[in-house]
């Protein structure tokens, strides 16, 4: 048995117990590694005419044996020699994928989309496995080699057999652990079930660019016997079929002109579990020092828990089509917490577990651009589709007002023109800019009255007195309205030289 290099035992123990906070991401890491191996072979075929690959030749296969408690992730990619196994798996934190990315940086994102960075993702398998066996045959080689380890002291590398190039990563899944002293146990059987594996593949690796396939059990009706009578009841049988689990091409990386509104709506409803179409869809691609794709949705209705303490805001954050965070709260300001969507960038600097970012400034740059696009879309909705905007504001306007109040008016310039208030003169909702544009000559202030009931406010003598002078009055009935106005004392409405006095 060979020992891990560079104090690897301590590093491996640290990584398994400290770096990763979520055990189930091990499958994401193994599928990402398999995708990198397939990508390397695909890239090699572009420069070597002797390598003939069809679109259906490259794939990743996930399988399990519940009785043997093994889970296998296989690919038919570039494979590894004995030296590669020694270098890539015997030296923790050595990333062959990172070297490949550096050597072929000009092709990253086009012909090649390498995911790996740190060379530690493979070892996340030991969070759920008592033993890991890797059988690999390098492309162009006649023999295969087997790397095996229990993740404790070291590893072995021996000659093995594999029918073709590629790699099998075979995990012996740990036994379940019962809970003690009120603490929950560990159910490792999840990783030996069809539904559990399909869920993890769809959640974390749904948009890996190569098909992730698995044998799944399906049911079909048996053929009706020729002599069946009128009382025959259909019989069913189970059968297995190889199925591609992932979607591969993410909708947010397609050109907007190639995606129908129905496709965008269906993605929204299925991904974010809403039964109504979104009010607006925003898709854009950003280039520059930071390149990323974004697909944003403005919902048609507010979720039931939007204003509860349990509500979690955030956009799904992907890197090279692999899910990093389901809800990255830093991508949205609180007043746009209703926005749902996806941001995907291969340029963001992830931490070693690929669960958070290393550089907060990258996140801030993306968040700033996202905020501008949401604001712009709301302004267009306000100006071009007032009925839809008023419905939107009824659902989400409270959050916009609170954004001004909670920032002590610092966000007034960004948000004030999105607010709507009831006009006593016009009997309709108006913006502050519309109120200001309709002011008669000589009016120097915006007048408003705050209370619980709009009809009662309209009957107040002071309101009637202002209306009789030819001035309009905004009737504020939301509990946050008056606080919002107080926070906006320095705000100047469009078409108005100076705002407003009580």
Examine residue 391 and state whether it is found in any structural domain, yes or no. Answer: no
From 349, 384, 419, the end of a domain falls on: 384
Examine residue 497 and state whether it is found in any structural domain, yes or no. Answer: no
Q: Are residues 107 and 180 in the same domain?
A: yes
Examine residue 241 and state whether it is found in any structural domain, yes or no. Answer: no
Please report the pLDDT score of residue 173 as a whole number.
97
CATH code (residue 357): 3.30.230.80
Q: Are residues 192 and 283 in the same domain?
A: no
Distances (CA, A) of 148 to 28, 80, 169, 245, 358: 21, 14, 10, 28, 32
Q: Are residues 11 and 140 in the same domain?
A: yes
CATH code (residue 412): 3.40.50.11260
Q: Are residues 206 and 285 in the same domain?
A: no
Total domains, the chain = 3
Examine residue 389 and state whether it is found in any structural domain, yes or no. Answer: no
Q: Is the dihedral of CA 83, 89, 95, 100 positive or negative?
A: positive
pLDDT in tens, 387-429: 999 999 999 999 999 999 888 888 888 899 999 999 999 999 9
The whole domain housing 10 covers 2-219
Q: Are residues 178 and 48 in the same domain?
A: yes
**Once rounded to an integer, what is the mean pLDDT over residues 322-345?**
92
Please report the pLDDT score of residue 502 as a whole number.
38
Contact 205, 212 (CB under 8 A): yes
Q: Are residues 368 and 455 in the same domain?
A: no
Q: Are residues 169 and 270 in the same domain?
A: no
Q: Are residues 42 and 153 in the same domain?
A: yes
Nearest to 75 by CA among 110, 115, 109: 115
Beta-bridged to residue 341, according to DSSP, are 296
Q: Are residues 160 and 202 in the same domain?
A: yes
Examine residue 428 and state whether it is found in any structural domain, yes or no. Answer: yes
Examine residue 234 and state whether it is found in any structural domain, yes or no. Answer: no
From 317, 349, 384, the end of a domain falls on: 384
Q: Are residues 301 and 175 in the same domain?
A: no
Highest mean pLDDT among 26-35, 188-197, 458-467: 188-197
Q: Are residues 62 and 203 in the same domain?
A: yes
**Once rounded to an integer, what is the mean pLDDT over residues 238-246?**
94
| Residue that wins the pLDDT comparison between 79 and 496 | 79
Contact 82, 2 (CB under 8 A): no
Distance of CA 218 to the CA centre of its chain: 29
Examine residue 286 and state whether it is found in any structural domain, yes or no. Answer: yes
**Once rounded to an integer, what is the mean pLDDT over residues 225-230?**
84
Phi and psi for 107 in degrees, rounded to 5?
Answer: -100, -10
Q: Which two tokens stand for residue 432?
A: 């502050």
* C-alpha span between 321 and 195 (Å, rounded): 22
Going by the DSSP 8-state scheme, the letter that residue 73 receives in this structure is E
Examine residue 76 and state whether it is found in any structural domain, yes or no. Answer: yes
Q: Are residues 344 and 418 in the same domain?
A: no
């Amino acid at each position: 048995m060979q020992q891990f290099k560079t104090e690897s035992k301590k590093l491996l123990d640290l990584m398994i117990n400290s770096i990763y906070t979520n055990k189930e991401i091990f499958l994401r890491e193994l599928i990402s590694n398999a995708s990198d191996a397939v990508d390397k072979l695909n890239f090699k075929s572009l420069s070597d005419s002797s390598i003939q690959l069809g679109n259906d030749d490259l794939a990743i296969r996930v399988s399990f044996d519940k009785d043997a408690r093994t889970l296998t992730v296989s690919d038919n990619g570039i494979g590894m020699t004995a030296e590669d196994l020694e270098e890539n798996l015997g030296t923790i934190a050595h990333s062959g994928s990172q070297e490949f990315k550096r050597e072929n940086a000009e092709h990253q994102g086009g012909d090649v989309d390498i995911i790996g960075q740190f060379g530690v993702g493979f070892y996340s398998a030991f969070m759920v496995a008592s033993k890991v066996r890797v059988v690999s045959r390098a492309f162009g080689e006649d023999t295969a080699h087997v790397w095996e380890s229990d993740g404790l002291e070291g590893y072995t590398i021996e000659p093995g057999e594999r029918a073709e190039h590629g790699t099998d990563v075979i995990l012996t899944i740990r036994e379940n652990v019962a809970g003690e002293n009120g603490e929950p146990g560990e159910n490792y059987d999840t990783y030996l079930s069809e539904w559990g594996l399909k869920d993890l593949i769809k959640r974390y690796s749904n948009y890996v660019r190569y098909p992730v396939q698995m044998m799944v059990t399906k049911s079909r009706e048996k053929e009706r016997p020729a002599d069946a009578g009128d009382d025959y009841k259909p019989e069913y049988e189970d059968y297995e079929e190889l199925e591609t689990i992932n979607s591969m091409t993410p909708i947010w990386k397609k050109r907007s002109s190639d995606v129908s509104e129905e496709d965008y709506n269906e993605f929204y409803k299925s991904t974010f579990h809403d039964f109504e179409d979104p009010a607006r869809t925003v898709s854009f691609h950003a280039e520059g020092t930071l390149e990323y794709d974004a697909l944003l949705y403005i919902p048609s209705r507010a979720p039931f828990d939007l204003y509860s303490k349990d509500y979690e805001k955030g956009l799904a954050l992907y890197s090279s089509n692999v899910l990093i965070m389901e809800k990255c709260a830093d991508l949205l300001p609180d007043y746009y917490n209703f926005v749902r969507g996806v941001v995907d960038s291969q340029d963001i600097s992830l931490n070693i577990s690929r669960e958070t970012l290393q550089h907060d400034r990258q996140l801030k740059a993306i968040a700033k651009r996202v905020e501008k696009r949401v604001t712009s879309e709301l302004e267009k909705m306000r100006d071009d589709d007032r009925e839809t905007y008023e419905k939107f504001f009824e659902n989400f306007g409270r959050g916009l007002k609170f954004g001004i109040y909670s920032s002590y008016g610092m966000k007034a310039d960004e948000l004030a023109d999105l607010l709507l208030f009831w006009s006593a003169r016009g009997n309709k909702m108006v913006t502050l800019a519309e109120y200001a544009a309709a002011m008669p000559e000589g009016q120097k202030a915006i007048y408003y009255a705050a209370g619980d009931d709009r009809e009662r406010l309209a009957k107040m003598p002071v309101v009637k007195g202002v209306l009789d002078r030819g001035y309009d009055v905004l009737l504020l009935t939301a509990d946050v309205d008056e606080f919002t106005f107080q926070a906006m004392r320095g705000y100047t409405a469009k078409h108005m030289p100076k705002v407003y006095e009580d």
